[in-house]
Amino acid sequence: MPLDINPILIIIPIVIAIAILVVIFALRAKYKKNQIVEHKVFLIKLPKEKPQDANRDETIQTMQEDISKGETLLAAIGGLRAQRGQKYWYRGRSDHFGLEIVAHNNKIAFYLASPADKTRYLEQQIHAYYPEAVIEEVLDYNAFNIQNQVLAGSLKTKKNFALPIRTYKDMEVDPMSSIINVLSKLEKEESISVQYLIRSAKASWHLSIKNIVRNSYKNNSLQYSSASGGLGKTFSFLSDMLKSGAKSKSAEQNSLDTKRLTANDEELLKKMEEKNSKAGLNVNLRMIVSAKTGTQAKMYLENLANAFSEYNAYEKGNNFGFIDKTKQKQIIHDFIFRRFDDKKSFLLNTEEMVGLFHLPTRTMETPNILWLTAKIAPAPADIPTEGLLLGKNGYRGVVKDIYLQRPDRRRHTYVIGKSGTGKSVLITNMAVQDIENGEGVCVLDPHGDLIEDIIQRVPPERAEDVIVFSPGDIERPMALNLLEYDPKYPEQKSFVINEMIGILDKLYDLKATGGPMFEQYMRNALLLIMDSPELGSTLMEVPKVLADEDFRKLKLTKCKNQTVIDFWVKEADKAGGDAALANIVPYITSKLTPFISNDMMRPIIGQQKSSFNFRELMDSQKILLVDLPKGVIGETNAYLLGMIIVGKILMASLSRANMAQEDRKDFYLYIDEFQNFTTDSICAILSEARKYALNLTIAHQYIGQLAQDNNTEIKDAVFGNVGTMISFKVGSEDAEFLVKDFGPTFNEFDLINIGKGVACAKILVDNTSTKPFSLQTIWPIMGTRREDMSAKIRNLSRLKHGQDKRIIEAEIKKRGLSS
């Protein structure tokens, strides 16, 4: 007897099951719609390297080579295993990356956004294919202006995903140029953002295209649907299989005999196969415009959408459809939170995708792209871990302190860079560290700010060691007698005279204007004066010994140098014509009068005994801060005093020959704008002074300052002897010269465009020069700043080493030397 089953008992479970599925799908859709994936955002900057002049074919090749790096990077993303399983079916995938181009504040920036768990992988891949790129993790950008009108839209391909779009290999210019050009034509406070969300496509798409191609060849006609959609909806070959069952075998054979693929069809199938040979990516493409008016925003958005027509392959290929501007709030929400929308997704392979987005190439000429101003190079692995801290090297997230060891500092340090690039900060940090470490230091500053920064950071326990030589202090000037020498070292006399003639030559170009006659009279005048210091031996005595016959005769009675006596008695007194003493005297005195008659300079150079002994200063590790602001004391006065001090220090260092080498304490001489304070004796300092523990740090602005009147002696000495070279931003001519030392790590473009506070450095490590690397100076300046110490230290110094101006003038007058 058959069972009598109530139909309701069957229908109810089915209805319940359907209801459950509806609820599940509704919850799934709602969950996925509001899903937020945590992304980390990175600003990517590349150095701008303009390609060398090349013909058209070479330029196209360069462009394609640069873009292909981006394709390799995308292939690394496309090669990731797509998330799958029940969890991701319900919650949605979270493995998508963001590729974004943002035009804002007249700059076009390139960002990459990565899922938090894929950050390290992305960084590694970028550095693998763009080793010179700088990756900076940033807070998410905000390109919206609250007062502007915002308009959003999205794009996707119109046809079946199997059909390819045009790629960069089909083009002769960078395909992204049209997009970038739209982004470059914005007004102030406006912005455009283009966002691509990409993720690896599931592998089934490869099989689908393979089936399309196979069935197309089998049936001698293209076998794909025109609509773009899910993989299960795309292929008409399924319907063809159903239809084929109704055909007779002979009818099918007749059909195959009559149909033939056209050349265009075969070319398209070939392109499908090429597309299928590379990794696939699911893509969302969104655009956001923030403009002053709605009309302006609409125009920008349409112009941007039209720029994508460059990728359209109209004949049998794929192309981008009309821009979708519906559901504005949802598009903006999805843009901000980087939500991947499966319904608006389309599939591209890596070659197609890289045409839509790649990092800027060398051939891209849009001016407002945010380039890396210069390459960043890593510090060598053998950088010391102690010594003098120069700064830091940051490379790929690893920050390393850069130290310079004491023995390597004895080979001197050379710093070059334009004004305001960071030279003074570097010098200040170095000097402050030396002072804190108890070292002997001298700093020559032609501006004044450098000295002030150092004084404010002198530790209280070293305040007694500081000597502030400031010619601007006219109430208690310090004495500086260039003609003073130590009688225990008679060889110093010749050094002093040569230095004095060198200084005057530097100031007045004596070789061109005075010639050997000037040098002969000047040398013998100095020798005569210095042979009897007790009768006065300062620059003040030079005009007197030339013009005052009685004084000259008095000096000759004390002179022990017969050659000098013979010159004045047998030559000078008897010479006639242009060589006559009466003709020579005005010429020589005219060179000294600007100093002798100057109320500021006369008390300094007119005193018989200098306020401090340079040899003692070096041996006892004192601190000499020379404040020579050209705007206060005059350019020529600053140069004269600076050259006198440098000559004195060199002479004192050479006198250390009577000490055992191990007893010579290091003394550090810092000279800013050093070309103005040195004579040719700097060549001797650079080549020999290290033996006497005099260690130089010299800085200036451009190399042309080292070669005057075709004399390259100082320039040759600098680049032939310095061990550590640090180059801040320089001009094109200097970059062309310096690239010989800093290449191939850095090129001319890097040296010219390096940022403020950043330098290219090549230092000594164990007396061996390192490979060039990037150096970031330390800011704010090192050391504890004590603003109240500056006035106290200056006052203490002037009381200890200066003398009341009235007393000095009285002493000069007593010697009969007042002007």
| Torsion sign across C-alpha atoms 232, 236, 237, 240 | positive
DSSP sequence for 89-153: HHH-----EEEEEEEETTEEEEEEEEEGGGHHHHHHHHHHH-TT-EEEEEPPP----TTSEEEEE
Q: From the centroid of its chain, how far is CA 207?
A: 50
Beta pairing, strands 39-45 & 107-115: antiparallel
Q: Is 17 exposed, middle or buried (0-12, 13-18, 19+ CB in 10 A)?
A: exposed
pLDDT at position 191: 94
797 pLDDT band, cuts 50/70/90, is: very high
Distance from C-alpha of 323 to C-alpha of 673, rounded to nearest angstrom: 61
Averaged over 556-577, what is the pLDDT? 88
CB neighbour list of residue 196: distance below 8 Å, 6 or more residues apart = 98, 99, 100, 283, 284, 285, 353, 356, 357
794 in Cβ contact with 467 (< 8 Å): no
Q: pTM for the complete prediction?
A: 0.80
CB neighbour list of residue 405: distance below 8 Å, 6 or more residues apart = 384, 386, 387, 388, 765, 766
Averaged over 798-815, what is the pLDDT? 90
Helices (H), 509-577: 510-513, 515-530, 541-547, 549-558, 562-566
pLDDT at position 244: 41
pLDDT at position 143: 81
CB neighbour list of residue 539: distance below 8 Å, 6 or more residues apart = 482, 483, 592, 595, 596, 605, 606
pLDDT at position 511: 64
pLDDT at position 682: 79
Q: Is 625 exposed, middle or buried (0-12, 13-18, 19+ CB in 10 A)?
A: buried
Distance from C-alpha of 96 to C-alpha of 115, rounded to nearest angstrom: 7
242 pLDDT band, cuts 50/70/90, is: very low
Q: Does pLDDT of 346 surpass 90?
A: yes
Distance from C-alpha of 654 to C-alpha of 658, rounded to nearest angstrom: 9
Q: Does pLDDT of 3 surpass 60?
A: no
Quote the DSSP letter at residue 534.
Answer: G
525 pLDDT band, cuts 50/70/90, is: very high
Averaged over 213-227, what is the pLDDT? 80
36 pLDDT band, cuts 50/70/90, is: low
Window from 242-251, 295-304, 492-501 with minimum mean pLDDT? 242-251
Window from 145-154, 438-447, 652-661 with minimum mean pLDDT? 652-661
Q: Is 304 helix (H, G, I), strand (E, B) or coil?
A: helix
Q: What is the pLDDT of residues 456-473, one digit of tens each?
A: 999 999 999 999 999 989
* φ, ψ at 285 (rounded to 5°): -125, 115
pLDDT at position 480: 94
* Dihedral angle of Cα 555, 560, 561, 565, to the nearest 10 degrees: 40
pLDDT at position 441: 97
pLDDT at position 818: 59
Q: Is 358 helix (H, G, I), strand (E, B) or coil?
A: coil
In angstroms and rounded to an integer, the radius of gyration of the C-alpha atoms of the chain is: 40
pLDDT at position 234: 38
Q: What is the pLDDT of residues 654-665, one digit of tens each?
A: 888 888 888 899
